[in-house]
Chains A and B, each alone.
Chain A
Amino acid sequence: MDHRKYMTILKLDEAAIASRRAFFAVSDEDLARLASLRPLAEKIIDAIVEDFYALLLSHPDTRKFFADEATIRRVKRTQREYFMGLFAGRCDLAYVEDRLRVGAMHERIGLAPTWYLGAYRQYLELIRQHFDAQLTEQGAARDGFLSVQRLVFFDVALAIDTYIAANLEALGRHQAAVRELSTPVIRVHDRVLLLPLVGTVDSHRAQQIMESVLTHVVEAQARCIIIDIAGVPVVDTRVADHLLKTAAAVRLLGAQVVLTGITAQVARTMVQLGLDVSSMHTVSRLSEGIELALGMIGKAITAKSK
């Protein structure tokens, strides 16, 4: 997913960024301080990037993300950009967008938050060491480090939000796929549809079935939809009621339901439970249902003459 899309999903506008900045205590003073540390950052960047990747390459779970020398060269370049970004002295929409790009990239390659957060620990320690060694003025190393830490936590929150948004989006896509699979509507003939139902029908699925059937009937301008229930293990009062509601709604559209796949067992249950399905055309076998449906649109299956 494009990082710009995350900006929208996470509702990251000027106001949201201002609110985050206030909570993470990233002040203008911090940004000014970081900008003033830019010459130092340029001086220590090589050492930091080298030491940082030394750790990532030494651990088996993180090493696998760096397949070859070219990859390592590329991520080091990205890392340098990221590092210098901390000392750019700004924390605006463009900055956030840039940070989301990094988060989205990590999500895409499948780097779990564990390793991402663990790597940050190393990153901060390295920065601290260099600050301590280079900023000799009283309190300068501590103040500089605090400013870095504030901005880094701000970045980490953005990355974690990106991870979560990406996972929710994937879950939504999978659920949509399952929904599609649970109501596979097939076009049998011009204006005749078939829905073979397989598996248990609970009230949640029954609602999906009704909505899917109605949408398909109107889209295909179908005169008739055959619902085959041979693959439904239990047909009780509830399931029958759902089927009747679907048939009633299909009738409102101006089309009809033919119910097929009624086994001896199902027929016995229906009669014993006193279920009235007389508002639907019902037949035992799917082939008979298809013939019945074709009859409704003025078509018939005939034997080929020799």
Chain B
Amino acid sequence: MSAHSQIPILRIGSTLLVSIQIDLHDAVAEAFQADVLSAIEQRGTTGLVVDISGLDMVDTYVARILAETGRMAKLMGTSTVLVGMRPEVAATLVRMGYGLEGVRTALDLDDGLALLGHVIARR
């Protein structure tokens, strides 16, 4: 897989799995977006799970990259679920007025994959 952002992208069947474990600074965040989109482009992908349990801070810039990536994936026919957001991150985003409306969320990987299953079955 592409390694511009140094964030590994795993594929399980038609689902892509990305776990962000490093502090996302701007260049990495943009490379991450490009890597994910080109991975979706390569082969038939129906679902994308982004695990952010490793992030202890998400500012509006990173939040927007995440939300945008989801919308771009959607245009390419891939549903996105954001999983593992920490309590402090959720509180901070909401207080800033950034509710990530339109982004699907789940508590952990298991819940995220289950949710994707439902969403894709309904399509």
Direct contact of A and B (CB under 8 A): yes
List B contacts of A249 (CB < 8 A): 90-91, 93-94
Residue ID in chain A nearest B105 by CB atoms: A254
In the docked arrangement, what's the CA distance between A302 and B111, Å?
26
Cβ of A218 under 8 Å from chain B = yes
Q: CA A223 – CA B106 in complex, angstroms?
A: 9
Contacts A221-B108, A254-B112, A255-B107 given: A248-B94 contact, CB under 8 Å? yes
Query: B85 contacts which chain A residues (CB < 8 A)?
Result: 252-254
- Give the size of the chain B interface in residues (CB under 8 angstroms): 20
Note all chain A residues with C-beta closer than 8 A to B108.
Answer: 221, 254
Task: Give the residue name and chain of the A residue nearest to B107 (CB).
Answer: A254
Kindly provide the distance from the CB of B89 to the nearest chain A CB, expressed in whole angstroms. Answer: 8
Counting chain B CB atoms within 10 Å of each CB, the highest count among A211, A215, A218 belongs to A218
Q: Who on chain A is nearest to B112 by CB?
A: A254
Query: Which residues of B (88-103) have their CB < 8 Å from a CB of A?
Result: 88-91, 93-95, 99-100
Contact with B along A197-224 (1 / 0, CB 8 A): 0000000000000110011011001110
Check if A245 is an interface residue, CB within 8 A of chain B.
Answer: yes
Cβ contacts under 8 Å, A221 to chain B: 107-108
With a cutoff of 8 Å between Cβ atoms, the chain A residues found around residue B86 in the complex are 218
Interface status of A250 (Cβ within 8 A of chain B): yes
Compute how far the CA of A184 lies from the CA of B90 in the bound complex, rounded to whole angstroms: 21
User: Is B83 close to A, CB under 8 A?
Assistant: yes
A251 at the binding interface (Cβ < 8 Å): yes
Query: How far is it, in angstroms, between the C-alpha of A8 and the C-alpha of B108 when the chains are bound?
Result: 40
Are B90 and A250 in contact, with the CB atoms below 8 A?
yes
Once the chains bind, are B94 and A254 in contact (CB under 8 Å)?
no
User: Are A245's CB and B106's CB within 8 A?
Assistant: no
In the complex, chain B residues whose CB is within 8 Å of the CB of A217: 87, 107
Which chain B residue shows the least CB distance to A212? B87
In the complex, A114 Cα to B8 Cα: how many Å?
A: 67
B-contact bits for A221-249, CB 8 A (1 contact / 0 none): 11100000000000000000000010011
Closest residue on chain A to residue B53 by CB atoms: A218
CA distance A218 to B93 in the complex (A): 16
Complex interface: chain B residues within 8 A of A252 (CB): 82, 85, 89-90, 93-94, 99-100, 105
Asked if A251 contacts B105 (CB within 8 A), the reply is: yes
CB distance from A216 to the nearest CB of B (A): 9
Closest residue of A by beta carbon distance from B81: A254
In the bound complex, what is the Cα–Cα distance between A215 and B106 (angstroms)?
A: 15
CB of B63, distance to nearest CB on chain A (Å): 10
* Contact indicator A215/B87 (Cβ below 8 Å): yes
Whether A223 pairs with B107 at a CB distance below 8 angstroms is: yes
CB-CB under 8 A from B91, the residues of chain A are 210-211, 214, 249
Given contacts A214-B87, A254-B83, contact A245 B94 (CB under 8 A): yes
**Shortest Cβ distance from A203 into chain B, in angstroms?**
11
A253 lies within 8 A of B105 (CB): yes
Residues of A within 8 A of B95 (CB): 245
A248 to B93 CA separation, bound complex (whole angstroms): 10
Q: Which B residues lie within 8 Å of A211 (CB)?
A: 87, 91
Residue of A nearest to B104 (CB): A254
Q: Which residues of A contact B94 (CB under 8 A)?
A: 210, 245, 248-249, 252
Q: Which residues of A are found within 8 Å of B100, using beta-carbon distances?
A: 252
Q: How far is the CA of A254 from the CA of B89 in the complex (A)?
A: 13
CB distance A214 to B107 under 8 Å? no
Can you give 13 A-B contacts (C-beta < 8 A)? A214-B88, A214-B90, A218-B87, A221-B108, A223-B107, A223-B111, A248-B94, A252-B85, A252-B90, A252-B99, A254-B85, A254-B105, A254-B108
Interface residues of A (CB under 8 A from B): 210-211, 214-215, 217-218, 221-223, 245, 248-255
Closest 8 CB pairs of A and B: A214-B87, A254-B106, A252-B90, A254-B107, A254-B105, A249-B90, A249-B94, A248-B99
